[in-house]
Structure 1
Amino acid sequence: MRLLINRTAVLLCFFCTVCFSVNALAVAEPLSAIRGLVVTSDGAPAAYVAVQIKEKNRGTLTNEKGEFVFRKLMPGKYTLQVMLIGYKTMSKEIVVEEDQIAQVRLQLEASDKQLKEVIVSGARNRYKNDSLSGSLRLRTPILEVPQNIQVVSANVMADQQAFDLVDGITRNVSGATRVGHWDNQYANIRMRGSKIPAFRNGMNIEASWGPTAEDAAMIDRIEFVKGPAGFMLAGGEPGGFYNVVTKKPTGITKGAVNISMGSFSTYRAALDFDGKLSKDGKLLYRLNLAGQQKDYYTRYNYNNRYLFAPVLKYLVDDRTSVTLEYTYQGATYLANGNYVFSKNKLLDEKISNDFFYGDPSFTPGKLKDHSVYLYFDHKFNDNWEAHAQVAYFNFSMVANSVWADSVAVNGDMRRAYSIADEAGQNRFAQASISGEEYTGTVRHRILAGVDMGNKKFWGDFRQLTSDLKMGGGKMFNVYNPEYSIPFASFPVTDRTQPLAIRAGAGGYVTSVNYTSAYAQDELGFFNNRLRLSLAGRFTYAETVGKTKALAIKDNVFTPRVGLSYSIDKSTTIYGLFDQSFVPVAGADSNQNAFKPIKGIDVEAGVKKEWFDGKWVASATVYRIARQNAVVNLDIKDSRGANVQEQLGETLTKGVEIDINGEILPGLNATLNYAYTDSKISKEAPTAITKTVGNITPNTATHITNAWLNYRIGKGFLNGFGVTGGIQWMADRYVGSATRVFSIPNYFRTDAGLSYVKGKYNVSLLVNNLLDNQRLLTAASIPTTASGFYNYIVEARRNFRMTIGYRF
């Protein structure tokens, strides 16, 4: 840690020196400026709207928050002019005084034509996103980025009535799937042949088992980045990652309240407050609160969670801001998952959909997840800006878990009962500088920075008994389950020692440090029609091992080259070469330290906007070579534990198609398809068993998703909407590296109705409309005579209803 602190200090000193030098160049420039906000008639931010200074024939575009700035102005009177299709042209005179910043709020007024044809405020282009969040650091529009990046907005999540990251978010992204395991805690998302890491606000928060799935109330958007994205990762999977962007203050005073209810005793409330805390508008706030009681479709199991997420932002001046963000997520639950166990078959018809393998007498598990972010943003001038952020995560879970130790043909099941305590602490620091310059006719978009982190995890998973009995010593039976275990039957749970000591005794301790520096230059040629991205990242990673032999130090350079070309203003073709690596803690059965996972991604694609940018379509082909993946084998070592080894190489090839946006007036859609071919292509030199040619487990060859939302914009039914979607997965595979099994296809339908009038909205959604009770989300097949099937099926038909009010 001392080494990390020293490196941090040196890098930050260098960063501050560069920032001071760049800022000093602007001292002689005029300090007067106009800083403004453009909003539509209902107070919503008007993103990417043209704003002009009439006297100087000088213009700019608002950002995604409706904000704009004109700097380096001489004192005097200026006329601002804003034009947007469907709204009246607006002009406003502003007086700018010497060395002062004039603040202005421009609210557009709908034209007569717009008032007649308006569908419903906020209903247009709800599913299309043109830009990336600031946490991804790139200034380039999504259309021009040489990579497949898909964005799931809060609007989409609201239409689908998603309560958290586990609630079907992957249906909006081609090729993304979620393995249903420990749904009370973790999302566990896979893409392009491997599990992808979780980011939050640009930081890699992937933990040993986590992170905690974010509540929907705190999410502004989720960005799925396909491929390594070397400009973001210190160490990450070649398949990509997902980045959860949390809600921040907008400077607009507004709020929302949503009350939800549904099947299985589901009740939820969420509040969102946004506004200013000071009269001068420099201190802004955002506060999101949520509370939820949700029983599962399985008997007795539940998940009650709550969220507290305040954010404060201080605008030092028109160029500098400081933001402090805190998030607390808590949960109380009975069992980690909703598994079914059978000795006889997968999808055993004799076991009902509401089967629960736990017991209502279990002590509930409790999860507490804290995170704190501090952001610093500064604009040197119109072309250059700097960003820095630090974060601290503290996670703890006190729980017990139960699992099948054995299952008999007649359904008798021995239940193993264990401690399931976990804790984690993560510390991160990032600093970056980005800007735009020209050398002759060549435009340069430059990005450089440092990225540091320290991750620690402790776990106590000691088994307390392998046969938890019912009253009178009766065996639990999956075909005729009985509940209410007597208190005296539970083994004593000893937590007298701190978790760190207990984890050390069991060997469940990991610690990883990393420090990296990166630089990227996107060169634009021929008036920016041709763009060449050249980037590289150097990373030092240290994995602390239980012995000196297991302590791993990696020094890795990963290059990135991207090329994109705009055929016209709405069509882009691109190609990409990117590398990545993942440090791996632990050792194989011979106590040899694992090597880092390395990956190479090569992809090409096309992106096109249609009908004046109302919707966008993209198609991508890719090839990913992933080396040294750690897998479990179907054999045991002398201690009875699963043998682990590293594969030589896994080769994943695929095609991805995504369509998002307003397809027809009032009809918003998210449509996607992915073909994935993932197989083990090379054997490791020390391989115990032969695996070449085997399909990568937990993959689906074909994935198709569709979600449509249509709202009527005029007439007697003005404000009414219908929504619905399908999810289809075919040729799915589970198992291990040595044995792979196919499982049944997945097909689910959802449909609903909604009504929006003014500030009020009501929506009803029926999930699993066809009441398919055999929708597998996870499965394991027995590989020995003593083994058994275990799997998870989704809930039978159920509904959710939400009533909302905006103010």
Structure 2
Amino acid sequence: MRYFLLLLCLFSCSLPLQAQQTPQGSIYGTITSPDGETILGATVTIQDRSRSTTTNASGTYELKLEPGEYKVLFSFIGYETAEQTVTVEAGLRIELNVSLKASSYALQSVEITGRKESGYKNTTSFTGTKTATSIKETPQTISYVTKETLDDQLAFKTSDAVKNISGVNQASYNNNDFILRGFRASNTLINGLRISTRGWAQNLLPYVERIEVIKGPASALFANTDPGGTINTITKKPLDENRRSVNFTTGSFDTYRTSFDFTGPMNDKKTILYRLNLAYQNAGSFRMLQDGWAMVIAPSFSFVPNEKTRVNFDLVYQYNKGRLDRGQPIFGATSAADLYSTPTSFALGRRNDYQNELNLFSTISLQHKFSENISFNASYLKSMYDEDLLEHRTSNRYAMDSAGVTIPTLMEMQTIRRLRKNYVDNISTYFNLKFNTGDFSHQVLVGYDRISERFPLGNSTYNAGGYLNAAGTGTISRYDPTHPERYQFRNGVPVPNVPYFNLANPDYSISEISQYINTSAQETPSRYFVNGVYVQEQLKWKQLQMLLGFRQEFYTDQLNYTKADQRNVQQKAFIPRVGLVYTPIEPVSFYATYVEGYQPQSAGTIGDPATFGGPFDPLISNMVEAGAKMDFFHKNLFVTTSVYRIVQNNILVNANADDNPDLLRQIGQQQSKGIELEAYGKILPNFSITGNFAYNIAKITESDDPDEIGQQMFNAPKTQGNLWMRYNFVRGALDGFGIGLGTNYASVRNTDNEALKLPAYWVSNAAVYYTIDRFKLQANFNNVFNKTYWVGGFDFNRLFPGAPRNTMVSIGYTF
């Protein structure tokens, strides 16, 4: 690391001499729209360098450059990026005038070809309406993180990304285990389609174009979604221009990452496009025994034979090999001070534990335009999850002596050996109709979708736990101090089937599970499917826009799936949605919305009732939201502010049962009220920013336990925020350099145990960039002040600390 920084310093010191000895030239000109009007705020960028400028009120620009050949990119929101190659000579001004074409988003009503817009800001989204709608004109909050933000932060997994989104908090290290506006999330989408969310390891991000979150219930379009919001991952799509990049990253925790991104046309007519993303990571962790590796293979192809038809195929293969991290245990106690009784690196487990996961999904999408006003869209996604697990984990209890007194340094343990698969099929079809009636313009969506999730026959577990009985021939699930005669004892302590884990003197050696008394069990197969029809109208009249929609959903859970007494249990729900957008002046729009949510909680969605409990009533929710969306700095900075109230009934939480750590229970009603502020984009051509702040009161308002009423929901901070800024130097000795600064904040959070709270934290991050020709050098410094903090937690034996100070260094090459 010392030699790397020294080389950068020596190289930068040589730049002033070069700048003084070489006279500059410049390029200048005017940027116009297809109808000949000049464009204010269009961006002019030198490709592969950090030089850029924007057009002034007259639509003109000028950019000074050293002599040489450059590829110049001209871009503006709503238009396709244009490029020209120019040779700059010393002392000469070269005129480059450009007329931009309308963006391809206006030609597609499903995201098939890739996004050419770059930077921290994204203008158009399909998530909120299933049509290419400006986020500014969508009557609901759409938050997002672009690939440029991910690259600048060297974000490599989902939790690295969502910390940039307001109102989102991590609950654990598990995949898609997040709190959105106070509600725990359980569903996620890929390109607007449901995939399996049963995995543990977080997804890697090299194939991701951006991550979007539609805040509040989205059931009117996407069936059974979470009330706090729905995370939608948009994959990178092929582009009709050649772009290729390679990146290598290394750093703390013995991390090694390599990624490749290749895209472009496959024929001269550019009717067949491809994209290939590859990534490999081998990394350790600040957490004990949490080393592992992961790989991603993600090809994508688009076939665009003419302006009327587009077909896309995506495949993502992701394999993770590591161990399941159940969190940090601490000494048994009743006060939060004991958070520090064990180091944050402390974990349970054995060396021979493993967690091997395969996530595989493929998507085929079709768009056909019958005319300029009628189009048809169809997508089919197939998702598979395959798990091979062995773990030594806590039973969520501390050991007891013969009298039943807790021993705070000994954890009761169990082992789990599990083989599991599940499959998700998702079909989405809809017609998009555009027409006018007088002064009113209409865009009508009429669609049908079907979602099916299946746990097939053959999933099974091989578990050991509990205590040895007096004869040593069997086990008893928990220790009952009123009947000590039923148990074996050693040194005054009942003998467990799986040895205790000593928090004061941990043993991570290999442990052969066959020496325990194990129970082999077949997991209960399950299957559910959803059929839904929906209608949506986007009505526009002058400065007013209205969104009206509804969904009629038919949910079927197949009880006793694969058995002779299999039967269907059906539910149905009518789910409305209404929204209003008013734009008094072009840079500002005001909006209001009312949406409802519906989410079954059956064996097919929750899991085996023998493990998780049930049957449970469905989640019923609704949200009222209002706010403003604004453009600043010539549409380069986008700001959203919103206020909301969400009500949800029939919430599930952990029952904290002694004999079943996975048992769930319903607690009645929860309400979430809050405000959010978000900003994305550029303040200056060389100064980018993404930031947010959220204030959220998420409380239990109805429960069969009166003591729970009024409590802030678990892992839901009242206040949280994020800020990330990047500044590029464009002149003088520091030309080509950039710096990044950021911070993350969360206030105190409750856990499932009312005696344990997670303290507030501020974490600061920084980065240094240097771009030369086609190379990009980057160093990221995370948790600069080495703060000790926890991103989430459930109880005294399942806490999830954040990483201490760490550094990542990256080198990328674009060709």
* Superposition TM-score, scaled by structure 2 size: 0.77
Within 5 Å, which residues of 2 pair with 1:394-433? 394-405=384-395, 406-407=397-398, 409=407, 411-433=409-431
Tell me whether 559-568 or 186-195 shows the greater mean CA deviation. Answer: 186-195
- For the pair 1:514 / 2:530, whether they are aligned, the reply is yes
1:463 paired with 2:467, answer no
Change (3 A) 1:373 1:231: same
* Corresponding position of 2:637: 615
| Displacement of 1:450 | 1.1
* Residues 633 and 644, structure 1, Cα contact 8 Å, conserved in 2: yes
Q: Which amino acid aligns with 1:629?
A: I
The equivalent of 1:44 in structure 2 is none
Q: Distance in 2 between matches of 1:388 and 1:356?
A: 46
Query: How many residues matched?
Result: 683
Deviation, 1:158, is 0.5
1:169 paired residue among 144, 161, 165: 161
1:657 to 677, 681, 687: 677
1:665-711, Cα deviation, whole Å (9 max, x unpaired): 4111111110111112234xxx4766432322221100011111111
Could you tell me which runs of 5 or more consecutive residues in structure 2 were left unpaired when the two chains were aligned: 1-30, 43-57, 64-79, 97-114, 400-406, 469-489, 604-608
Range moving further from structure 2, 278-287 or 240-249: 278-287
Q: State the match for 2:230 in structure 1.
A: 241
2:310 maps to 321
Match of 1:202 in 2: 192
CA contact (8 A) 2:314 2:363 kept: yes
1:380 and 2:388 are equivalent in the alignment: no
Match of 2:585 among 548, 568, 571: 568
What does 1:254-653 align with in structure 2 at a 5 Å threshold? 254-344=243-333, 346=336, 347-362=338-353, 364-405=354-395, 406-407=397-398, 409=407, 411-457=409-455, 460-466=460-466, 476-485=501-510, 487=512, 491=516, 502-504=522-524, 509-526=525-542, 529-546=543-560, 552-586=569-603, 593-634=615-656, 644-653=664-673
Find the counterpart in structure 1 of residue 19 from structure 2.
none
Separation in 1, partners of 2:614, 2:365 = 41
Alignment of 1:110-129 (within 5 A): 126-129=119-122
> Residue 655 of structure 2 aligns to a residue in which SS?
strand
Among candidates 787, 792, 808, match of residue 800 of structure 1: 808
Residues 580-604 of structure 1 show CA distances to partners (whole Å, capped at 9, x for unaligned) of: 1001114699986322111111010
Which residue of structure 1 aligns with residue 21 of structure 2?
none
**Cα deviation per residue 1:696-748 (whole Å; 9 max; x = unaligned)?**
22211000111111111111111111112111111311116xx4753211221
CA distance in 2, matches of 1:148, 1:300: 40
Aligned residue for 1:9? none
8 Å CA contact 1:226–1:239 kept in 2: the answer is yes
Tell me which of 134, 137, 161 is aligned to 1:141: 134
Q: Describe the shift of the 1:425–1:313 C-alpha distance in structure 2 as closer, same or farther (beyond 3 A).
A: same
Write the letter of the residue equivalent to 1:530. Answer: L
Task: Write the distance in 2 (CA, Å) between the matches of 1:154 and 1:124.
Answer: 11
Which shows bigger deviation, 645-654 or 583-592? 583-592
What SS does structure 1 have at the residue aligned with 2:149?
helix
Question: Take 2:611 and 2:414, find their aligned partners in 1: how far apart are those partners?
Answer: 24
Quote the offset at 1:550 in angstroms. 9.2
Contact 2:558 2:569 in 1 (8 A): yes
| Amino acid aligned to 1:482 | D
Distance change in 2, residues 1:242/1:743 (3 Å): same
Q: TM-score, normalised by structure 1?
A: 0.78
Distance (Å, rounded) in 2 between the aligned partners of 1:541 and 1:550: 13
Distance 1:565 1:474, change over 3 A: closer
Q: Is the 8 A contact 2:298 2:314 kept in 1?
A: yes
Alignment partner of 1:780 out of 783, 794, 800: 794
Which whole-Å deviations, capped at 9, do the CAs of 1:89-126 have from their partners, x for residues lacking one?
Answer: xxxxxxxxxxxxxxx9963467988999xxxxx99971
The answer to whether the 8 Å contact 2:668/2:702 transfers is yes
List per-residue Cα deviations over 1:279-324 (Å, max 9, x = no partner): 3322211111111101111233212000111112212222212112
Change (3 A) 1:374 1:152: same
Asked if 1:51 corresponds to 2:34, the answer is yes
2:744 is the alignment partner of 1:727 = yes
Q: d(CA) in 1 for partners of 2:646 and 2:205?
A: 32
- Output the amino acid matched with 2:553: T
| Structure 1 position 767 matched with structure 2 position 796 | no
Aligned-residue CA RMSD in angstroms?
Answer: 3.5
Percent identical residues: 23
> Partner residue of 2:178?
189
Query: In the alignment, residue 763 of structure 2 is paired with which amino acid?
Result: R
> Kindly tell me: are residues 543 and 768 of structure 1, through their superposed partners in 2, closer, same or farther at Cα, counting changes over 3 Å?
same
Task: Give 1:217's aligned amino acid.
Answer: P
Q: Determine whether 1:746 maps to 2:739.
A: no
Q: Which amino acid aligns with 1:464?
A: A
Confirm or deny: 8 A CA contact 1:205 1:211 kept in the other structure: no
The one-letter code sitting in structure 1 at the alignment partner of 2:655 is: L
Give, in whole Å, the separation in 1 of the partners of 2:665 and 2:705: 8
Does structure 1 conserve the Cα–Cα contact (< 8 Å) formed by 2:642 and 2:677? yes
